[in-house]
Every structure is written in structure tokens, then in C-alpha cells.
Amino acid sequence: MKTAATDKKIRSRRSLSRNDRFTLAAFIGIPTLMQIIFLWLPALITIVLSFTYWNGINVSDIKWAGLANYKNIFFGTPVFYEALKNNLVWLLWFTFIATPLGILLAYQIDRKIKGHKIYETVYYIPVVLSLAIIGIIWNFMLQPGGFVQGVMGRDIGNAVSIWGNYSINTYVIMGVASWRHIGYIMLLYLAGLKSVDPSLREASAIDGATEWQTFKKIILPTMRPVNIIIVVITIIESLRAFDLVYIIYGTSTAWPLLNILVFQNFAGQGISMKGAAYAVILLVLCIGPILLYLRNVFKEDLK
Amino acid sequence: MSDVNNGISRRSVLKGAAIGGVGLAAGGSLLAGCGKKKVTGDVHFTIRGNLSDAGAKINVAVNDAYTAKTGNKVISQAVNSDDFQNNFVQIMQGTPDDAFGWMAGWRTNARADAGLLADVSEQIKALGSTLSAAAIQGATNPTDGKQYIIPTTYYPWGLHYRKSTMQELGLDPENIATWDDLIKLCEATQKKGLVGYAMGDKGGWEAMGTFDIINMRLNGYQFHIDLLNGKEQWTDSKVVDVFTHMAQLIPFMNKNFLDIEWDGCRDLLLQKKAGAMMMGSWFANDFKAKSQADYDDLWIVAFPEMNAEHGIDSIDAPLDGVSVAANGKNPEGGADLAQFWGSKEGIDAAVAAGDTNIYISSDFDTSTYDAFNKQKLAVLGEAKNIGFFLDRDTRGDFAGPVVGPALQSFLKNPKDVAKILENVQKQWDALPAL
């Protein structure tokens, strides 16, 4: 046993030449260094700044504020809860409507239903656009004086209120965001489905499983790696949402999101560093569920 | 245009000054010109707005005139106004353009205190008596008594309307003297199928104009300024009263006021879909760009009296001008260009390019103003107290992030006013001392 272990050690050591080791070190070291400099350091600085008052100009002006910024946000800023609600709605909508729709589409297209190529293309097109561009497109379509209003024969004076109508604007924004998200999920899932061994399906069909049973018991479990990616993407996309809404509403918090508040409070206006505090809240919200989920997944994998 | 050699350009400066030397004021600028070293080098200038805007084209024309005069090339770039304001601190800490169109008030003074703007007191002195004491006062940073902006133009906030529309409706807005008159006017316009009181508050700041004027009319200028600087409470019944009056206007507004911004409002008026609009007169440039007839049709009157004690003695009339970045590559050049903007030559270039602004410089002959500009002066002349507009009269982390959303919530749900005002006060109290 001892010899086997040393054998292994020698082999593994041998397999890494000096060159290899250098390459590996570079491959791991450089990205890690960049991560630390450009990601972790600013994140840490943001966390520290969230406990201060500062106008963002002279470092000597930084004043310790303790929990004041957080207190201000949690107890004095009603718009924070509106933003939280909107982010939550976004997350729920993506989780229970947009993402399942994307998966369903992928499943149907993978079964090569009639015209599947056309569906694939149609749903895929929005994915190549950034959400900012999508914001510009839909804003142009729906705003007063926009294309859709024009087609309906409405001018600015009697344009149908959409972005400013609070009984529908949330759904319209969700629809627009889903327009892209569905295609994105479809694409990811489709790639995964292609790698599922067709014999698995045949076997389940022979065993008399229904379509739903096959999907639930065979396809979904074999798609595990893709599922993880999709869950993470859905959570992150919902919480980091910004550009689409920023294009439509600007920094006015007419339809607030946490990221809009980060931007609004950072954007050279204030000295409260509330923006940093919003960013930290967002960071915690993003990292929390993802870490939990990944931990669960890895635990199960180890079993 | 840029490669005029220095000898020639200096001669042309002297020549220009000699010709103008007959006038007293120009004599002053001749003296100032003698005492100063010739400023050279390219100057970078930021225009707030889109290059396609009428206003931006006027900016370029003024910069071209500066190049023609001095031989110093001006490189102009247009930046979205909101983006420029939002990223101002970051831009100024990098390598900003040397000079840029800017606004007097909090936005200048706070940034000057932070060392981001260059002192232009010398240029203000050189412009001398062409600037009124009030204008210099308005441009002065209270912290150190220096100026960080060359004020060039200003405009009143008032009720704008189209003369032809009102004539067709048989209405005479020139004679609205009281709040009830205004309401009656709105009612009458609405009855004819038009928007009574055009409003667009998607940008979050537009409704501040209406708030400002009602507060100044009801409670007076001093209360208004004190409120914006934390010396009065937002929960005061006097403030509630302002919102009660604002709520009376909501039924006359276009229903989609949270869908459109100020430019949507402007279009409502331009397309004859609205009666009155409370706005700053700067948008008149766009009317003129559309057609001279549209511009000639535009008119402004002061917001009516609401409290006899204060009459119509106050108005929002923001000072606009040119500021110089402390960190620019050529701050001297920037300051020289800024001074040019405030001088007669700069104004002449703007006017030649079709500018409809009114100028602060007394070097400009007001008798050449068109009827609309004379009316603007008349509206301004009725006011003793000049406000700069809410987002310049109070700190930046209060106006945009707190008052803006509060006004939007109020327009959405006017009944929530007590809760909204309580929140505004709470958020003011939570602000750290500057």
C-alpha cells in the first residue's frame, strides 16, 4: 500500500514538468490575482465604505457612520422596500414562469416537433441582444409617441399609459425581460438535452413511462449539471437586473430595483454612502441562495 | 480654423477691442485683455445634451466663434445631460474636459468645495460690470466667496401656453391672477378636449417646478429655501397645504404623466394638445427649431398669486453658465473659453446661431430681444426673490433620491400625502451633516 501511494505521488509529480507547472501556476495565478484586484478588493472596500459617510472625492473626508446607512435604508427609505419587492417579483416570475417556459420549449424542440427549427430561431434571436438594447427596443415600441402607440392611433396626449401605469407596468417589464430569458434558458437546456443518451428515452418508453414521467424521472436527473447552471443564472439574472429598467426609467426610481438604488445613490450625488450599503445588501442576497444551493448540490454529489 | 498663428490672432483681438472701444463696457474688457497673458492651446468642452438638439448646435457655434477669435481650437463633445450629472464626480476626478456647460447653485458650490472646479473669480472680475450684482451673487459659493461658474444665461419657470390655442378656446391666460383663475382655465381647456395642465414626471424632477412655485406662492421664498435646507419641517401644515393645492391640479393633467418626461410635455404643447404647462423656458429653442411660427406662438406668464402676503414676488430662475474643471489639461484655456461665453462676442455668436435664451451680460442690448424674450424678462421682473429650482437649492442626495420619488408617489396616490411627507422628513433627518 505504501509503495502504491508513493508510486502515485511519483507519477503525479513526474507528469508535471517544470514547464507544465509554470503554465498551471500562470493559468491559476493570473486570474486569481485579477479576481482579487478587480473583484474582491473593490468588494471589500465597498463593504467598508458602506459603514461610512463620504462624498467619494478626498479619502481624508471619510467619516465613520457605523450602521447609520443601513438604519436609514431599513427604517427610513420606503423606496427600498419597493425595490426589494420588484426584485422579488422578478425572481419569482423568472423561477416559476420564464425558466420553466424555456425548459418546456427546449424539450419540445428537442423532440423535433413540426417547425422546430423556426421556433428555435425565433426564440433564440432576442438572446443575442443585451438587456439594454432590449430596453431601448421596447421603450421605443411602447412609450407615448412610440411605434405601438402610433399603430393604435394614439398620440402623446392620449397614449395608453404603460410604463407609468402601476397596475400593469410590472407585468410588461416581466414580459420584456422574459422575452430574452426564455430563449436563453431554452438554448442552455437544448444543449444539455442533445447530450442525453437517446437509449434512455427508448428504454423508458418501452417500460411504459408517460411523457411526464420520462421527463421527471429520466431527463431531469440526467440534466443535473445544466439544472445547476440554470438555477444559478435565474437567481443572478433576477437580482442583478438593472439595464432594462435603467433605459426605461433612468435614475428616477419610478420602478425601483436594488441596482437602480445602488446607482442612484452612488452617482456623485450624495455623501451618505447609502449606495455602498445597497450594494452590500444586494451582494448578500446574491451570494446567500447560491452558496446554499451549491453546498446542497455538492453534498449530494459526495454521497 | 485652428492653425491661426498667434501674431495674427492677437492682432485681431486688439482690433476687435479697438472697434468696441467706443462703448464703456467694451473699454473695460480691453483693459482686462491688456493685463492678461495670451491663453493658448486646445480647449476641450463638454456640451450637455445631444448634438442634434438645437441647444447643442448653439454651443458649437459659440465654441467656433472662440476659435475664430483666439485661434485656440475647441474640441466639443456632447454628453447626455443626466449621465454627465450622475457621473460628474467621477468624470471630474479623471481627465475631464476643460470647460463645460453647468448650473449655478448646489451643484456648483458643493463640487467647488470638494476641489473639483477651478476658481473663475478672475474671469468674473474681467467681465466686470456687465454682470449684475445679483448674477454674481447667484454664482458665488457661500463657503469661500469665490465664483466657480461664469453665469451666461437664465430662464424663468412659468406657465407656458400657445397663444393660438388659447385664442381658439376664447381664453385669456394673461389675466389669470388667482389660483381659482388657473383652475378655471384648466377646466375650460379640459372641457375642449385638451390637457389642462401638462405634466410629465417620469424623469422624477419635472414636478419639482410645480412644487417650488406653489410653495413660494403660498408660504413665501424664505420658507421655501428654509424648508429645502432643513430649517423647516416637511410635516408642517404649510407644506401639506402645498400638496393639497397640487392635488387639485392632478385631474387636469394628462393621465400618462408618469410615462412622459419634460420633452413629452413639450411635445404636448408643440402639437397643440395641451393648454398650459409649467416649465422652464429653455425648451423654447426646440419650438424655434421646429418653426418660427411655432416659436412666435409660444408665450409665458407668471404663476398666479395664491397668498396676498407674497403676491408673485418669487420665481425659479436657474442660472446656467460655464464652469471649468480643476483637473482639466488646460484649465487656463477653459477659463478663457468660459469668459468668452459670458462676453458680448460669445452671446453674439449664440444669438446668430438662433439661441432664444436671455443673457445675464448687460453688454447685450435687450432691446433686440424678440417678443417672447421680452415677456420672459417681464415675468422675471415681477419677482423679487429668485430660486434656482429645487435640485439646485438643496443638497444632491436629498433632491434626486428623496424628493423626486416622493413627488412621484404623491402624483400616483395624492391621498397618501401625510405618510409621504413624514417619510421625506425622516429621510432628511437621516442625512449626514455636510
Q: How far apart are the first and last CA of chain A?
A: 25
Tell me the C-alpha distance between B195 and B186, whole Å: 8
Tell me the C-alpha distance between B156 and B264, whole Å: 20
Q: Do A40 and A32 contact (CB within 8 A), yes or no? A: no
Confidence grade of residue B21 (pLDDT, cut at 50, 70, 90): very low
pLDDT tens-digit profile of B257-299? 999 999 899 999 999 999 999 999 989 988 988 999 999 999 9
- Return the pLDDT at A74: 93
Confidence grade of residue A295 (pLDDT, cut at 50, 70, 90): confident
- Return the pLDDT at B219: 97
**Contact list, B195 vs chain A (CB under 8 Å):** 157
- Least CB–CB distance from A269: residue in B93, B203, B397: B397
Which residue in chain B has the smallest CA separation from A250?
A: B203
**Contact list, A269 vs chain B (CB under 8 Å):** 86, 396-397, 400-401
Instruction: Using only the alpha carbons of chain B, give its radius of gyration.
Output: 22
Say if the Cβ atoms of A76 and B116 lie within 8 Å.
Answer: no
- Return the pLDDT at A270: 65
Percent of chain B with pLDDT over 70: 91
What homologous superfamily does CATH list for A79-302?
MetI-like (1.10.3720.10)
- Of residues B173 and A297, which shows the higher confidence score? B173
Interface check for B88 against chain A (CB to CB < 8 A): the answer is yes
Tell me the C-alpha distance between A152 and A183, whole Å: 28
In the structure grid, which three cell numbers stand for residue A220, read together?
A: 431531469
Domains of chain B in start order, with CATH, are 6-154+319-363 (3.40.190.10), 157-316+376-429 (3.40.190.10)
- Of residues B342 and A219, which shows the higher confidence score? B342
Surface of B (104-133) touching A: CB under 8 A:
110, 114-116
Is a pLDDT exceeding 50 seen at residue B6? no
Tell me the C-alpha distance between B183 and B249, whole Å: 7
Confidence grade of residue A9 (pLDDT, cut at 50, 70, 90): low
CB atoms under 10 Å from CB of B100, counted, come to: 27
Is a pLDDT exceeding 70 seen at residue B15? no
- Beta strands B195-198 and B274-280, pairing class: parallel
Q: What is the pTM of this model?
A: 0.83
Question: Residue B49: which region, alpha, beta or left (left: phi > 0; alpha: psi -120 to 50)?
Answer: left
Is a pLDDT exceeding 80 seen at residue B5? no
- Alpha-helical (H) ranges within B192-330 are 206-228, 237-249, 262-270, 284-290, 292-297
Say if the Cβ atoms of A159 and B256 lie within 8 Å.
Answer: yes
The domain spans of chain A are 79-302
**Contact list, A77 vs chain B (CB under 8 Å):** 427
Say if the Cβ atoms of A253 and B401 lie within 8 Å.
Answer: yes
Stretch among A74-83, A133-142, A148-157, B241-250 having the lowest mean pLDDT: A148-157
- Return the pLDDT at A8: 53
- Least CB–CB distance from B202: residue in A53, A79, A164: A164
In the structure grid, which three cell numbers stand for residue B241, read together?
A: 397645504
Confidence grade of residue A198 (pLDDT, cut at 50, 70, 90): confident
Tell me the C-alpha distance between B149 and B86, whole Å: 19
Is a pLDDT exceeding 80 seen at residue B34? no
Interface check for B81 against chain A (CB to CB < 8 A): the answer is no
- Tell me which amino acid residue B68 is: A
Burial class (CB in 10 A: 0-12, 13-18, 19+), A32: exposed
In the structure grid, which three cell numbers stand for residue B29, read together?
A: 474688457
**Contact list, A75 vs chain B (CB under 8 Å):** 426
Is a pLDDT exceeding 50 seen at residue B4? no
Say if the Cβ atoms of A254 and B268 lie within 8 Å.
Answer: no
Q: Do A156 and B268 contact (CB within 8 A), yes or no? A: yes
- Return the pLDDT at B126: 92
- Mean of pLDDT over chain A: 86
SS3 B154: strand
Is a pLDDT exceeding 90 seen at residue B181? yes
pLDDT tens-digit profile of A258-267? 999 998 887 6
Which residue from B79, B386, B93, B58 is spatially nearest to B221, judged by alpha carbons? B386
- Tell me which amino acid residue A256 is: P
Interface check for B414 against chain A (CB to CB < 8 A): the answer is no
- Of residues B374 and A266, which shows the higher confidence score? B374
In the structure grid, which three cell numbers stand for residue B139, read together?
A: 454664482
Interface check for B41 against chain A (CB to CB < 8 A): the answer is no
Which residue from B86, B5, B257 is spatially nearest to A275, judged by alpha carbons? B86
Please give the average per-residue pLDDT across A232-247, as a whole number: 90
CB atoms under 10 Å from CB of B401, counted, come to: 27
Please give the average per-residue pLDDT across A189-200, as a whole number: 87
- Return the pLDDT at B14: 33
Which residue in chain A has the smallest CA separation from B112?
A: A57
Mutate to test the interface with A, among B82, B195, B258, B272 (most CBs of A within 10 A): B258
Please give the average per-residue pLDDT across B400-412, as a whole number: 92
Is a pLDDT exceeding 80 seen at residue A3? no
Tell me the C-alpha distance between B101 and B79, whole Å: 11
pLDDT tens-digit profile of B52-108? 777 888 999 999 999 999 999 999 999 988 788 888 888 998 889 999 999 999 889
Which residue in chain B has the smallest CA separation from A162?
A: B259
Q: Do B304 and B212 contact (CB within 8 A), yes or no? A: no
Stated as kind and residue range, the H or E segment containing B59 is helix B54-70
SS3 B238: helix
Say if the Cβ atoms of A144 and B256 lie within 8 Å.
Answer: yes
Interface check for B76 against chain A (CB to CB < 8 A): the answer is no
Percent of chain A with pLDDT over 70: 93
- Return the pLDDT at B324: 96
CB atoms under 10 Å from CB of A156, counted, come to: 27
pLDDT tens-digit profile of A40-76? 999 999 999 999 988 777 788 888 989 989 998 998 8
**Contact list, B254 vs chain A (CB under 8 Å):** 157
Say if the Cβ atoms of A76 and B87 lie within 8 Å.
Answer: no
Is a pLDDT exceeding 90 seen at residue B433? no
**How close, in Å, is residue B76 to chain A by CA atoms?**
23
Cα B77 to chain center, whole Å?
20
Stated as kind and residue range, the H or E segment containing B275 is strand B274-280
- Least CB–CB distance from B86: residue in A57, A159, A268: A268
- Mean of pLDDT over chain B: 87
**How close, in Å, is residue B389 to chain A by CA atoms?**
16
Is a pLDDT exceeding 70 seen at residue B187? yes
- Least CB–CB distance from A254: residue in B85, B88, B202: B202
